[in-house]
Structure 1
Amino acid sequence: MQEPRLRLVGQRRPQRSPERLAPLPDGPRAHPGCREGSRQAREARQARCRKVSRNLPASAGRALQSFTTSIINIVGTVIAMLFVDRIGRKPLALIGSAGMAVSLGLAAWAFSFKQEIGGDISLPDTQGTVGLIAAHSFVLFFALSWGVVVWVMLGEIFPNRIRAALLGVAASAQWITNWLITASFPTMSDWNLSGSYVIYACFAALSIPFILKWVPETKGKALEDMG
């Protein structure tokens, strides 16, 4: 039986020297497998950082473009609300048709210089700037004219006795046409993107004589006077 050791009050317990952990080998002393794993992990982190760096400007650019397009659309709508009763429906529609035709023509010219690299479309600096301005100006001219004027005129242009039926037919025709353009654009862009914008610009230009000849001005007229 081991004899118990007595310790005086206030006497400190002898401390053991701490056992130090040996540092992990690194550099030339490290195990080849450890060095290879560390190198692969470091390269994987660097690859992820490079991937995020490449994708961040593109996603930020798309978000900024969507934001600016929304702001321009709102500005154009406010302009239409302010002037639709001041200058009339037909002048706004004519301004919008002319602006959209010019914008689409500029877009057609810009995309005639497109280059496909890895499935992505790229434009030279000048044409890219013109294409961006043309896209935003098209949104602006549409929002300040046809985006508002069409719905205002549909509620005013038809006689009272057949207004509801013709309004339904006109609205249905407009949505069907919108669907046809949306559904056909991918095929047309694969055929010829610049040519597609030329076709759209021609239709925008043709709307000018159509408005001048067949669209009446409804500003300041009572619904009962439309016959």
Structure 2
Amino acid sequence: MEGEISSPLLLKERTQIHGGGSGGEEQRGGSSATTMVVLSTLVAVSGSYVFGSAIGYSSPTQSGIMEDLALSVAEYSLFGSILTIGAMIGAIMSGRIADYIGRRGTMGFSEIICIIGWMLITFSKASWWLDVGRLLVGYGMGLLSYVIPIYIAEITPKNLRGGFTTVHQLMICFGVSITYLIGAFVSWRILALIGTIPCIVQIVGLFFIPESPRWLAKIGRGEECEAALQCLRGHNADISDEAAEIRDYTETILQLSEASIFELFQWKYAHSLIVGTGLMALQQFGGVNGIAFYASSIFISAGFSGRIGMIAMVVVQIPMTALGVVLMDISGRRPLLMVSAAGTCLGCFLAALSFLLQDLNKMVSATPFLALFGVLIYTGSFSLGMGGIPWVIMSEVFPINMKGSAGSLVTLVSWLGSWIISYAFNFLMDWSSAGTFFIFSCVCGLTVLFVAKLVPETKGRTLEEIQATMNPFSPKR
């Protein structure tokens, strides 16, 4: 079987394409980061910043919006949660749109939708306009959450792919944190207007970066694929080996029909599907959005200052996410995921222990600090790996003919889990604060076992090598 999988992807002879650089590692798909790869990644993650600013918008603006538009708590809760509804709709459509109009086209389309949504929020005079605007921003987020990691994974050399793809999560953290800070000083309308700036930055930047070579190869534009790859790897780079591997793999995979949503559930794709959807589900049901959305109320319930706790979370989150970016292609995906999941398990356990001791009236003076340490350990550990790596792996494990349907399903699972946790969290906390965090701790512990048993190490391997190993097929020759 190994021979059947690999043979279509390997060329016995290579024809040098364009520049005449040295072989070695560059010919095997690894190279240094060129200016164009860095620029393309920065343009792409401008959308990640939009993602983060949309998540962070509702927290600092709650009192202003409720006062100006006379909203009830229930009406504002609808405004906050409708973002995830829009994201689920976008997730369902994301893969197909990215396959039909390309990765760049999808990012541009998403940003136009987000700009319309932010403008509706900015000039809203009634709550329903506010909700429509928030829904549109969420829809754009759903598209961006799929296409950004996919695009970055498809343009970067294999030895840099993990770190570059994780910049997506880093920029989300920046978006959330900076929106929190700016929101403390400006009105909710101005904050929404500011939200359009990164959208415009990305739209302009898209004119200066190439399309994904792998998408161009998929739709039969071979010369443009090679031109885009040469642009990304540098004028003097020898791209013959990488271009040939992409071409051979694409020709082989296109012998199979474009996968529908039902074809995803064939046995030959089971491993990829279990890994992709499993990581997303475990990421969400580990409690991240419950803790992120309601961190202030958690600290207050534990007897600690909500404001100080939120500042401490921001201080921990950004450097830990940056550390994850650095370690991604050094330690590998699996070790970092397991350390990250183990840390979130410990953090939730400490928070649960804090609330349990509080309920038993034991160590009352220490329980607020125990809750703080637990949440900070959780936040730092999640930022290190569980926040970004599942998106990296999602972008790596599916073959090109599956990415549309599979990407839509995996992204939908993520947003559905996000909605369930963010909606149910307050009810769970009313039931039992300690019990809620013990449940999250168990899910995080299960994640460690899931990664150890099922998740492959993808560090240092081309996308074609990863997908051929995980998705065996024997096409007719």
CA distance in 1, matches of 2:404, 2:460: 21
One-letter amino acid matched to 1:130: L
* Correspondence 1:184 to 2:424: yes
Give the TM-score taking structure 2 as reference length: 0.33
1:113 aligned residue = 357
| Greater radius of gyration (CA) | 1
CA distance in 1, matches of 2:371, 2:306: 15
Q: Would you identify which runs of 4 or more consecutive aligned residues in structure 1 move more than 6 Å?
A: none
Distance apart, 1:185 and its partner CA: 1.0
8 Å contact kept, 1:98–1:208: yes
8 Å contact kept, 2:309–2:372: no
1:16 aligned residue = none
Match of 1:89 among 333, 339, 344: 333
Distance apart, 1:208 and its partner CA: 1.2
User: Unmatched 5+ residue regions in structure 2?
Assistant: 1-299, 469-477
Distance 1:61 1:193, change over 3 A: closer
Choose between structure 1 and 2: higher helix proportion. 2
CA distance in 1, matches of 2:423, 2:405: 27
2:44 aligned residue = none
Distance apart, 1:186 and its partner CA: 0.8
What is the Cα-based RMSD across aligned positions, in Å?
1.9
Distance apart, 1:183 and its partner CA: 0.8
One-letter amino acid matched to 1:63: R
Identity of aligned residues (%): 26
1:138 aligned residue = 378
2:409 aligned residue = 169
Match of 2:306 among 40, 45, 62: 62
CA distance in 1, matches of 2:306, 2:449: 37
Structure 2 residue matching 1:221: 3-state secondary structure: coil
CA distance in 2, matches of 1:192, 1:62: 20
Distance apart, 1:63 and its partner CA: 2.7
One-letter amino acid matched to 2:430: D
* Correspondence 1:127 to 2:127: no
CA distance in 2, matches of 1:159, 1:216: 15
Structure 1 residue matching 2:330: 3-state secondary structure: coil
Q: Deviations over 1:35-88 (max 9, x none)?
A: xxxxxxxxxxxxxxxxxxxxxxx9x94333222211211011101100001111
One-letter amino acid matched to 1:215: V
Structure 1 residue matching 2:460: 3-state secondary structure: coil
Distance apart, 1:209 and its partner CA: 1.3
CA distance in 1, matches of 2:400, 2:461: 13
8 Å contact kept, 2:356–2:434: yes
CA distance in 1, matches of 2:440, 2:321: 22
8 Å contact kept, 1:97–1:207: yes
One-letter amino acid matched to 1:105: F
* Correspondence 1:73 to 2:317: yes
8 Å contact kept, 1:80–1:144: yes
Match of 2:448 among 199, 208, 212: 208
1:219 aligned residue = 459
8 Å contact kept, 1:160–1:223: no
User: Unmatched 5+ residue regions in structure 1?
Assistant: 1-57, 116-122
8 Å contact kept, 1:103–1:134: yes
8 Å contact kept, 1:160–1:224: no
Structure 1 residue matching 2:439: 3-state secondary structure: helix
Distance apart, 1:212 and its partner CA: 1.1
One-letter amino acid matched to 2:376: H
One-letter amino acid matched to 2:448: I
